[in-house]
């Protein structure tokens, strides 16, 4: 009786967990409650002068590219990143050029990070869909084994353990996805904050 109850609970859980997916039909594999915005718009985060060729040249400046790597890393606290921006631009002979190079590098790098995270989320979402289908099939198979006459208790135990394991993996992934769904927004906020500091330092 307890195994049957677990099977029904597992099935209900998976169905409930799958129902919230794909709120936007344009992105059927997008698993987050947050709307999917594929790219950060430059106009949304930069009100400074046109970046011109800075978008292609920032990688050629070793100091700029090294600083971009540090600023883009989420392990670097935002206040520390903002301080580094101010110190770098204060010491620049051509503040405007270096400011544009720095922002162009951040825009490129953080957009790439964001795209990578979003691609990973959709990949996990596809795995979750497959896992949900598998759990449904295992639940039906387990119920059939429980109702069989004569009943094979060894097979019931094996299938029950498999169902418990697959449901646990499904739930663990669901928790990870919920956490990672916050990352694109965090990247957006970081780019906006650093872009604002760069623009302020140019004035």
Q: Provide the pLDDT for residue 19.
A: 43
Over residues 170-178, the mean pLDDT reads: 93
Q: How far apart are CA 12 and CA 5, in angstroms?
A: 11
pLDDT tier, 203 (very low <50, low <70, confident <90, very high otherwise): confident
In a domain, 116, yes or no: yes
Q: How far apart are CA 197 and CA 99, in angstroms?
A: 10
Using the predicted structure, report yes or no on whether residue 202 has a pLDDT greater than 70: yes
The token pair that represents 174 in the structure block: 């669901």
Helix (H) or strand (E) holding 104: helix 95-147
Q: Provide the pLDDT for residue 55.
A: 86
Q: How many CB atoms lie within 10 A of CB 20?
A: 10
Over residues 155-173, the mean pLDDT reads: 93
Q: How many CB atoms lie within 10 A of CB 11?
A: 20
Per-residue pLDDT of 87-137, as tens digits, reads 999 998 899 999 999 999 999 999 999 999 999 999 999 999 999 999 999
Over residues 34-53, the mean pLDDT reads: 88
Percent of the chain with pLDDT over 90: 67
Using the predicted structure, report yes or no on whether residue 40 has a pLDDT greater than 90: no
Q: Provide the pLDDT for residue 41.
A: 87
In a domain, 25, yes or no: no
Expressed as residue numbers, the domain containing 133 is 2-18+54-202
In a domain, 66, yes or no: yes
In a domain, 46, yes or no: no
Q: How far apart are CA 131 and CA 128, in angstroms?
A: 5
pTM (two decimals): 0.80
In a domain, 134, yes or no: yes
In a domain, 191, yes or no: yes
Using the predicted structure, report yes or no on whether residue 172 has a pLDDT greater than 90: yes
Closest listed residue to residue 174, CA positions, set 115, 112, 118, 127 = 127
In a domain, 151, yes or no: yes
Percent of the chain with pLDDT over 70: 89
Per-residue pLDDT of 2-29, as tens digits, reads 445 545 555 555 555 554 455 678 889 9
The token pair that represents 168 in the structure block: 């646990």
Number of domains in the chain: 1
In a domain, 30, yes or no: no
């Amino acid at each position: 009786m307890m195994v049957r109850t677990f099977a029904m609970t597992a099935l209900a859980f998976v169905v409930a967990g799958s129902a919230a997916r794909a709120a936007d039909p344009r992105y059927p594999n997008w698993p987050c409650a947050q709307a999917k915005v594929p790219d950060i718009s430059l106009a949304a985060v930069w009100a400074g002068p046109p970046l011109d060729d800075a978008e292609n040249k920032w990688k050629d400046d070793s100091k700029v590219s090294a600083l971009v790597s540090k600023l883009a890393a989420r392990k670097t606290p935002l206040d520390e990143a903002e301080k580094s921006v101010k110190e770098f631009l204060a010491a620049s002979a051509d503040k405007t050029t270096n400011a544009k190079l720095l922002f162009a590098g951040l825009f490129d790098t953080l957009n790439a990070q964001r795209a990578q995270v979003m691609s990973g989320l959709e990949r996990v979402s596809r795995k979750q869909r497959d896992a949900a289908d598998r759990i449904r099939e295992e639940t039906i198979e387990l119920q059939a084994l429980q109702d069989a006459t004569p009943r094979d208790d060894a097979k019931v135990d094996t299938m029950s353990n498999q169902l418990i394991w697959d449901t646990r993996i499904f739930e663990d992934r669901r928790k990870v996805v919920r956490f990672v769904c916050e990352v694109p927004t965090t990247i957006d906020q970081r780019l906006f904050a650093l872009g604002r500091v760069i623009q302020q330092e140019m004035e």
